[in-house]
Structure 1
Amino acid sequence: MRIRAATLKLGETFIGIQLAKIVESKNPKYPVGQYVTAHFGWRSHTISDGSPINGQIPALVPNFGGLPLSLALGVLGRPELVRRDRNRCWWSVGSHVGQIAKIKGCKVIGITGSDEKGRVLVEELGFDHFINYKIADVDKALTELAPEGVDCFFDN
């Protein structure tokens, strides 16, 4: 990703996976109101005719029957079986994902390897809590901070 980012000029769109709601459509395969995911890029709106983009055909997101839409999204979190081990929210991707999650109204718990980094996550980046995996029992700390469980987990 760093190589690709280094080739971008100021103002160019970073191409990555986007989860998008179809707000207007002339293609019966992609009805208004449906969600779709593809390599559209990190932008607020995309125009597509349904053709492959960067080798990927836009995929309709299935109806999850009331489950969170984030099940289809990688940028804001890949819900998966939570591996409660070392993962770094301190680095650029994790710190950005945490800030986006806060903007979206999530409770954010960062897992990092020092109290200094944890304080930055909470005091400067707005995370709700942090866990220093080097000195804390991560399972116990997560159980205390999220007693009803974790809905979304991001590990870059």
Structure 2
Amino acid sequence: MTQINHQFRLAARPVGMPKRTDWKYVEEPVRQPGDNEVLVKTLYLSLDPAMRGWMNEGKSYIAPVEIDAVMRAGGVGKVIASRHPDFKEGDEVYGTLGVQEFATVQGKTLTKVDSGLAPLPVYLGTLGMPGMTAYFGLLEVGKPQPGQTVVVSGAAGAVGSVVGQIARIKGCRVVGIAGGEQKCDYIVNQLGFDAAIDYKSQDVKKALREHCPNGIDVYFDNVGGDILDAALTRLARNARIVICGAISQYNATSAVKGPSNYMSLLVNRASMTGMVVFDYADRYADAMREMAGWLAAGKLKTREDIVTGIETFPETLLKLFKGENLGKLVLKVA
């Protein structure tokens, strides 16, 4: 019997918040692998804010998803057929599998993982792209020093939660900005942040003055907009701002809101640097080993928010932009 593959293909460029009709949910026969290809049964998919940017037409750090193409997504799965010498049936792998039940891809694009060392969803979060983003963005761009104050926005999300924990491991004082009492309680009482600011119920600028009396040495920005502007008012001398994302702006239907307090960079001799994790791809393995060591030692905690059912993809993705996820948002395919 021919296996059937269910998949989401991009049907239209979204305007504002994506909606289900921006994708087509289709089925087609599973394609068997050709030379040097591998057929993977997708088990878990990574849902990330960056996916919204990939749906837009225009120049960026990565080519946009083409209309009628399978929606791009990182995933982990199991090899069910291989014509590549490095992979065999039963291997667990990570790669850009797309939002689909089965993926036939070039073997060179896959990386073996081991669910005996960590559950597969962890390879989409702390030991995956979000973790690599946190590791290199903080350590290579932010360059925190022991005793310095690190502030991170989106602090309960997949990237922000890891940034704060690494900063603590490196001996920094950490303040997280998150939305809601539950998230603020989580980052302080479970992840070990020194303080939390609830942007939904607190005046962020006032709270930053309270929690960062000597200024912010490193600000790791995942949200942009008004919160970035507030952080700019509290910079310490020679502060470093890491521009990782701007989730508050991704679904805007008007021009992106830029920082109005940027002159603080001049006054405080500070820097603002954008980072793209793909620039550090040749060092992922080293970072993963160190982070796996922290996990094993209990210094680093991981949390996945898992939703089941590939057919829920359009609605589940929106949890990111509504602030409804806690930790790494993962879609369990079946």
* Bigger fraction of residues in strand: 2
TM-score of the pair, normalised by structure 1: 0.52
The partner residue of 2:201 within 114, 125, 135 is 135
Is the counterpart of residue 10 in structure 1 residue 113 in structure 2?
yes
TM-aligned CA distance change 1:9 to 1:129, over 3 Å: same
Q: 5+ residue gaps in structure 2?
A: 1-45, 47-72, 77-94, 96-110, 115-122, 143-151, 223-334
Question: What aligned pairs does 1:118-129 form with structure 2 within 5 A after superposition?
Answer: 118-129=184-195
Moved over 3 A (4+): 2-6, 11-16, 75-79
Is the counterpart of residue 74 in structure 1 residue 74 in structure 2?
no
Whether contact under 8 Å (1:110, 1:121) holds in the other structure is yes
The AA in structure 1 aligned to 2:137 is G
* Bigger fraction of residues in helix: 2
Is the counterpart of residue 97 in structure 1 residue 179 in structure 2?
no
**Percent identical:** 42
Tell me which structure has the larger Cα radius of gyration: 2
1:154 CA drift (Å): 0.8
1:92 CA drift (Å): 1.2
Matched residues, number? 96
Whether contact under 8 Å (1:108, 1:128) holds in the other structure is yes
Deviations 1:57-116 (A, max 9, x none): xxxxxxxxxxxxxxxx6244755xxxxxx9311111110110000000111001000111
Deviations 1:23-80 (A, max 9, x none): xxxxxxxxxxxxxxxxxxx7xxxxxxxxxxxxxxxxxxxxxxxxxxxxxx6244755x
| Alignment match, 2:218 | 152
The AA in structure 2 aligned to 1:129 is A
The AA in structure 2 aligned to 1:114 is G
1:117 CA drift (Å): 0.7
TM-score of the pair, normalised by structure 2: 0.25
Give the root-mean-square deviation of aligned CA atoms: 3.1
Whether contact under 8 Å (1:77, 1:154) holds in the other structure is no
Is the counterpart of residue 88 in structure 1 residue 88 in structure 2?
no
Q: For residues 74 and 215 of structure 2, what CA distance do their matches in structure 1 show?
A: 36
Q: 5+ residue gaps in structure 1?
A: 19-41, 43-72, 80-85
TM-aligned CA distance change 1:15 to 1:118, over 3 Å: closer
The AA in structure 2 aligned to 1:74 is G
| Alignment match, 1:108 | 174
Q: For residues 136 and 77 of structure 1, what CA distance do their matches in structure 2 show?
A: 31
